[in-house]
Structure 1
Amino acid sequence: MALQNIILASRSPRRVELLAQLGVHCDIVPADIDESSWPDEDPAQYVVRLAREKALAVASLHGHRGLPILAADTTVALGQLILGKPADADEAMAMLARLSGSIHFVHTAVALYQAGEVHCLLNSTEVEMMQVPVAVLADYVASGEPMDKAGAYGIQGRAGRWIKQINGSYSGVMGLPLHETAQLLHAW
C-alpha cells in the first residue's frame, strides 16, 4: 500500500503507531462526541455507532479538506456489560477485578468517511485473562497505565502478561484492527 494521508479522529498514540505500520500518515483531529451507551445497546453495536459518529463529527468540521477521515472505537465487553475507559482508580480496580479470570470480548469498530459516505467494519476478539491477585491489580492501577484504556488494561503494556490467549486480532485489542483498517483504506 502506498503512503496515504488521512485525518484520524482520535488522540490515541497507539492508533497512530498502528497506522504507521500500514504506511499511513495522519493528521490528528479528535472527535468530541457523547460516548454514553444507550439503554440495552449491544457492545458491538455501541462501538460501531461511536466510530460512525466520530467520523461524521470530524467530517462536519473538516470534511472540506478532501482527506479520508478514519475513526475507531474500542470497548471491552463482559457479556453485555460495556467496560469503557475508567473514570478513576476505583472504577479501574472494579473493572479489572471483574475481568480477572474471565473470558471477555474486545470490540473495535473502524469507520472511514470519504466523499459523504461512511463505511464501517467491526472486529471482535475473544480474550482470556488469568486470575490476577488483587495486590497485583492494585499495583497496576497505581501505575496509571489503565486510565486511558477500555476495560482498564492495555494488552501491549504490563497487563499483557495476564492474557492467557486471544482468539482474534491483537491489533484490534490494542484499538485498531490492522486487517479491517487496511480493507477500508484499500477500498478507497
Structure 2
Amino acid sequence: MLIQKLNSFRIILGSNSPRRQLLLRKLGLNFEVIARNIGEDYPPHLQKEKIAVFLCERKSQAFDDIFTDDKTILITADTIVWIDGKNIGKPKDAEEARQTLKTLSGKKHDVITGVCLRSARKSHIFHECTEVFFNSLHDDEIEYYVSHFKPFDKAGAYAIQEWIGYASIGKIIGSYQNVMGLPIQRVYKELLKFCEII
C-alpha cells in the first residue's frame, strides 16, 4: 500500500497551522508537528508564486537540525492571496480584516501555496494556484464574519471552510484544499515521487 510506504518515513510538518495538520491527517499520514517562528518578509521585487516559493523554502531552512537520517521528510508551506498586483497578507486587526474583505468583494483573486519537501539529501519545491471568485459582500456580512470568526491568522482575512465560504464564494477554479492552506492531492503525488515510491 502506498500510504503504508509513505508512513515508513518520519514525516515532519513545519507548521502550526491547524488547517494543514487537518489535511495531512485526512490523507492518512503519520506525521509530527515542529513549529518555528519564521519571519514572512520577502524581497520586494518578487511577484505572485515567487513569493510563496521563496517563503516555503526559507521556512525549510530553519529546520537544518532535524535531519537525523535519510528517512526524515520535512514539509513546509506558505500561502498567499494575490489580487490587483498585490500580495494580501494576514490582517493585523479587525479594521484591516474589514478592509481586506472589501478589497476581495465582488472580484477574483488567486490563492497560491508554495510547498517545499526536504530530506537530508535533496529538496523539491512546487506551487499550486486556485482562482477564487467572491460574490459582492454587504458591510453587515463583513462585520458578522470578522466579529464571529476572527480571521487574523489567515492570508486574505478569510477561511473558505468557514461561514464566508458557504455564504459568499461563488466559484473556485482549482484545488479547494489549496485555499485552506495545502493542495493535499498534489502534496500526496509529490511525496510519492520524492520518497521514490512511484
TM-score range relative to shorter protein = over 0.9
Q: Distance in 2 between matches of 1:136 and 1:142?
A: 10
Matches within 5 A, 1:128-143: 128-143=133-148
Q: Distance in 2 between matches of 1:134 and 1:167?
A: 26
- 1:148 partner SS: coil
Matches within 5 A, 1:26-45: 26-45=31-50
Once the two structures are TM-superposed, the CA of residue 43 in structure 1 deviates from its matched residue by 2.1
Aligned residue pairs total 187
Q: What's the TM-score, normalizing by structure 2?
A: 0.89
Preserved contact between residue 55 and residue 78 of structure 2 (Cα < 8 Å):
yes
Q: Distance in 1 between matches of 2:163 and 2:54?
A: 30
1:175 corresponds to which residue? Answer: 181
Letter in 1 for 2:187: T
Letter in 2 for 1:61: D
Give the percent of matched residue pairs that are identical in Structure 1 and Structure 2. Answer: 36
> 106-115 or 135-144, which moves further after superposition?
135-144
Greater C-alpha Rg: 2
- 2:97 partner SS: helix
Matches within 5 A, 1:21-170: 21-58=26-63, 60-64=64-68, 66-161=71-166, 162-170=168-176
Deviation digits for residues 47-67 of structure 1 (CA, Å, limit 9, x no counterpart): 011111112212x13222652
1:186 corresponds to which residue? Answer: 192
Q: Distance in 2 between matches of 1:160 and 1:176?
A: 17
Preserved contact between residue 124 and residue 168 of structure 1 (Cα < 8 Å):
yes
- 2:16 partner SS: coil
Once the two structures are TM-superposed, the CA of residue 16 in structure 1 deviates from its matched residue by 1.0
Once the two structures are TM-superposed, the CA of residue 41 in structure 1 deviates from its matched residue by 1.5
Where do 4+ consecutive residues of structure 1 move more than 4 Å? none
Letter in 1 for 2:67: G
Gaps of at least 5 residues in structure 1 are: none
Gaps of at least 5 residues in structure 2 are: none
